[in-house]
A = this chain, B = another copy of it.
Amino acid sequence: MTEATGNANRMTTMKALVFHPPNRVALEDRAKPTIRQATDAIVRIITTSICGTDLHILKGDVPTIPDGRILGHEGVGIVEEVGSSVLGFCKGDKVLISVITSCGRCSFCKQGMYSHCRSGGWCLGNSIDGTQAEYVRIPFADNGLYLLPPKVEDEAAVMLSCILPTGLECGVLNGQVKPGDLVAIVGAGPVGLAALLTAQLYSPAEIIMMDLDDNRLEMARTMGATQVVNTSDGKALEQVMALTKTAGVDVAIEAVGCPATFDICQAIIAPGGRIANVGVHGKSVELHLERLWSSNITLATRLVDARTTPMLLKMVESGRLDAKKLVSHRFKLSEIMKAYDTFANAAKQHALKVILKN
């Protein structure tokens, strides 16, 4: 093969992590994406990551995803090409990619509920090809990309595609965390830790982190938890009640997604408190309305809308939010199978977020 041909080839194919149901992924050659709509952009990925949702896909929990889909919904890259109606970006711009695709026009978008966009939502690595590849097509590019300020490092920025907005919006904002509040976060995985980091933007007096894994609780301490409670010994409720002088907590953030952890939230919430559900639940839970009907409590659920990404970018740029704290491991894109292994064995590997670089 001549060099010219090689170049041409590089220009039309790319490496990408492809899903084969029910539970296999492989790094394969795929055609490079091209502009389809006037509002599209093509982005060359330089940094991406793996989300807990990607593991769910591999377990068969998202059965709508077809064979051949490229996974991934997080990323930083360089704009390669834009459609004729794209206003805010041009070739060469360094950008952050949002997990959420949104048209900016429908009634849900007008309310800021971008996750429910009638022409978008969580599409990347789900209903369309995603970011665990050398290139990705971004629909409605003006609404799905953000210019990366020079001061913000790629690794920090990738934390703003999905994990930090999820912790902030589904946990902290749904929990209405305020200065002086007592907050408990149940689950110290990446999204619980993202809630922990972003809760501090609202200055609660105390943040109690709860988990089964002492290692993760120790990490939580270094990220700002003022108290930690291991939930494995059956005394967690007593401990929280003692820490709050029997008042209970103002905000309980459920960051696991199972009945037992939801139960903890119900048990420790103070009158007037807010329960914010971040976890993805596979089955129903028992809600103790026979007790809570009179407690003036609020329970809120939500998909991440990623509407806070611009604000989080400002906070990272100003040095007030250290997003990189969530990064535990770094790999090349060519090592992505190893990265998946590491992330899938997070507890053993002491893994939080893994970074993939092109």
A interface residues with partner B (beta carbon < 8 Å): 37-39, 84-85, 87-88, 103-113, 115-116, 119, 142-143, 178-180, 200-203, 205-206, 226, 257, 262, 271-272, 277, 279-290, 292-303, 307, 310-312, 314-315, 317-318, 320
Contact = CB atoms under 8 A, between A and B. Distances in A.
Contacts of A296: 113, 115-116, 300-303
A289 B285 contact: yes
Contacts of A37: 85
Contacts of A119: 87
Given A286-B287, A293-B279, A179 B105 contact: no
A46 to B, nearest CB: 24
Contacts of A281: 289-290, 293
Contacts of A301: 289, 292-298
A226 B287 contact: no
B284 A289 contact: yes
Contact of A293 (B105, B109, B257, B298): B257
B143 A105 contact: yes
Nearest to A296: B302
Contacts of A271: 108, 113, 116
Nearest to A289: B281
Nearest to A271: B116
Given A110-B112, A110-B310, A284-B290, 19 more contacts: A87-B119, A88-B106, A103-B142, A104-B104, A105-B143, A113-B272, A115-B296, A179-B202, A179-B315, A202-B203, A205-B315, A277-B293, A284-B288, A286-B287, A287-B287, A293-B301, A298-B299, A298-B300, A299-B300
Find the residue from A281, A282, A303 having the highest chain B CB count within 10 A: A281
A111 B271 CA distance: 11
Given A104-B143, A113-B271, A179 B201 contact: yes
B282 A285 contact: no
A289 B262 contact: yes
29 contacts: A87-B105, A104-B109, A105-B142, A108-B271, A110-B112, A110-B310, A111-B272, A113-B272, A116-B271, A116-B296, A179-B202, A179-B311, A179-B315, A180-B310, A180-B311, A180-B314, A201-B202, A205-B314, A205-B318, A277-B289, A280-B293, A281-B289, A283-B290, A284-B288, A286-B287, A294-B301, A296-B303, A298-B300, A298-B301
Contacts of A317: 205
Contacts of A113: 271-272, 296
B205 A320 contact: yes
Contacts of A108: 271-272
A179 to B, nearest CB: 4
Find the residue from A257, A301, A312 having the highest chain B CB count within 10 A: A301
Nearest to A172: B179
A104 B297 CA distance: 21
Nearest to A311: B180
A315 B206 CA distance: 9
A302 B232 CA distance: 32
Contacts of A179: 201-202, 311, 315
